[in-house]
């Protein structure tokens, strides 16, 4: 999901908001029909906060449908009255309103939209996307990452038998979208946790930028 500007606002942070919202929805199992991309166009002419389908674009339904285009209203005058925090909260509500509109039109799970909106407002840029979980014996492991200007990759673990937990910041991500390529598998042993990267040509290409920053696979001791 991306925010395309035809009016205010215009910043990397708002793109991060859209990606964060979309990735959390995907983590929770939110599904769309044929399309797998949603584009939001900010339109000053539309009523502030209102959402509608954008005319003149290919239909979101059909065998070749890949994207859904929505327009959402942002009044420049009302936007100018908001402080930084209010603008962030407004954008979260704006994205939520647009996706709720889409959920009603396409019979999607609107409850997940509301759930993610609440998480976004509560945690802000600290909201983590859980990429994968694995359990071996009594040890449960989760790999997660944030989506912000300085995205972070984390690994956390919990031993249900001893009730001991741990967490480590593994890597500062150059791009949040790198996380799936950097960790495709998780291995658990007595020595610790091993985060194993992907082996495809695309995965290897994305790791090039991390040469000198991190050695792969990533070993995390848990003792």
| Residue 59: pLDDT band with limits 50, 70, 90 | low
How far is the C-alpha of 24 from the C-alpha of 125, rounded, in Å? 12
Query: DSSP readout, 99-166?
Result: HHHHHHHHT--HHHHHHHHHHHHHHGGGPEEEEEEEEETTEEEEEEEE-STT-EEEEEEEETTTTEEE
Q: Residue 20: left (phi > 0), alpha (psi -120 to 50), or beta?
A: alpha
Residue 34 vs residue 20, higher pLDDT: 20
Give the residue extent of every domain in the chain: 2-124, 127-220
Report the share of the chain in percent with pLDDT over 70: 91
Is pLDDT of 39 > 80? yes
| Residue 3: pLDDT band with limits 50, 70, 90 | low
Q: Which residue has the tokens 């939209």?
A: 113
User: What is the pLDDT averaged over residues 125-139?
Assistant: 96
| Residue 46: pLDDT band with limits 50, 70, 90 | confident
Cβ proximity of 60 and 35 under 8 Å: yes
Q: Identify the pLDDT of residue 12.
A: 73
Is pLDDT of 5 > 70? no
Q: Hey, what are 219's tokens?
A: 């070993």
Domain 2-124 has CATH 3.40.390: yes
Q: Identify the pLDDT of residue 66.
A: 80
User: What is the pLDDT averaged over residues 79-100?
Assistant: 92
How far is the C-alpha of 19 from the C-alpha of 24, rounded, in Å? 8
Q: Identify the pLDDT of residue 37.
A: 87
User: What is the pLDDT averaged over residues 116-126?
Assistant: 97
Q: Hey, what are 74's tokens?
A: 């942002």
| Residue 98: pLDDT band with limits 50, 70, 90 | very high
Residues 165-223 have pLDDT tens digits of: 999 999 999 999 999 999 999 999 988 999 999 999 999 999 999 999 999 999 999 87
Is pLDDT of 54 > 90? no
Element (H, E) at 172: strand 164-172
φ, ψ for residue 186, nearest 5 deg? -125, 130
How far is the C-alpha of 158 from the C-alpha of 181, rounded, in Å? 24
How far is the C-alpha of 74 from the C-alpha of 175, rounded, in Å? 28
Q: Identify the pLDDT of residue 148.
A: 92
Is pLDDT of 65 > 80? no
Pairing relationship of beta strands 37-43 and 152-159 according to DSSP bridges:
unpaired
Secondary structure class of 35 (helix, strand, coil): coil
User: What is the pLDDT averaged over residues 8-34?
Assistant: 85
User: What is the pLDDT averaged over residues 82-110?
Assistant: 93
Q: Residue 38: left (phi > 0), alpha (psi -120 to 50), or beta?
A: beta
Is pLDDT of 11 > 70? no
């Amino acid at each position: 999901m991306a925010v395309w500007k035809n009016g205010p606002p215009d910043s990397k942070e708002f793109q991060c908001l859209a990606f964060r919202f979309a990735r959390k929805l995907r983590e929770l199992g939110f599904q769309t029909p044929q399309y797998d991309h949603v584009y939001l166009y900010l339109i000053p002419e539309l009523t502030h906060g209102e959402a509608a389908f954008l005319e003149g674009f290919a239909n979101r339904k059909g065998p070749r449908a890949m994207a859904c285009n929505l327009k959402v209203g942002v009044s420049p005058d009302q936007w100018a009255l908001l402080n930084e925090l209010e603008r962030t909260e407004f954008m979260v509500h704006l994205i939520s309103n647009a996706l709720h509109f889409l959920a009603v039109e396409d019979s999607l799970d609107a409850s997940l939209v509301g759930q993610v909106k609440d998480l976004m407002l509560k945690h802000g840029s600290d909201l983590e996307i859980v990429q994968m979980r694995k359990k071996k014996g009594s040890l449960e492991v989760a790999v997660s990452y944030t989506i912000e200007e300085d995205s972070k990759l984390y690994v956390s673990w919990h031993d249900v038998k001893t009730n001991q937990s741990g967490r480590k910041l593994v890597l500062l991500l150059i791009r949040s979208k790198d996380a799936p390529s950097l960790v495709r598998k998780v291995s658990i042993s007595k020595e610790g946790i091993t985060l194993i990267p992907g082996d495809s040509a695309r995965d290897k290409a994305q790791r090039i930028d991390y040469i000198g920053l991190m050695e792969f696979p990533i070993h995390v001791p848990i003792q």
